[in-house]
Structure 1
Amino acid sequence: MNTAAELKAWNFQVLMLAQALLGAVTPNFRMVVLSCEGDVWVIRFYLEKNIEDDIGEIEDIICQYTAYQDSDLKCKSEILVGNEDLPSLSEADRAVYRRKE
């Protein structure tokens, strides 16, 4: 992050994702990570099990997250299921949620 504008953009996106997560996270959620790849915001959801209700919650989270935006946001989401070790995060990633394991 080189400029105050980039930091402001990151902080805004983290805050909007945190707001969208409120009340939606279940014990099956292991971690939620926000990344920026070029001009696309990427949200990765790490789940322990493939539970249909949680997939529905993720759809609602993405809908809420995009509703908070004031511009043409480019974003995508990925759902990763399993109980293997969670990945280490790079400097370009922000863990917005992580359960204690």
Structure 2
Amino acid sequence: MANNKSASKRILINKRNRLQNRFYKSSVRTLIKLFQHQLEVYKTSQTPEDKIKAQALLNSTYSLIDKGCKKNVFHKNTAARKKSKLSLQLKTI
């Protein structure tokens, strides 16, 4: 337990930041999995609608990665690496 007022405030701030970090990291992981699943669907069907869905998922993933980078959840190089890896997966199909 905290011994003074500032320590108890820091505990609350750390809890808030931990929940925010967990939200961004888990949401990005979920969107990446959805994007990869959509790529598999597009590989088998090769329809333009599936490619549009994959591109929309990629855009939303980019957005969430950028917001996490802005809030210091992800390092800027980590964010760039994730985005580059995802765009390469879409381009190679």
State the TM-score, normalizing by the size of structure 1.
0.37
State the TM-score, normalizing by the size of structure 2.
0.40
More helix by share: 2
Q: Which has the higher contact order (CA 8 A, sep 6+)?
A: 1
Larger Rg: 2
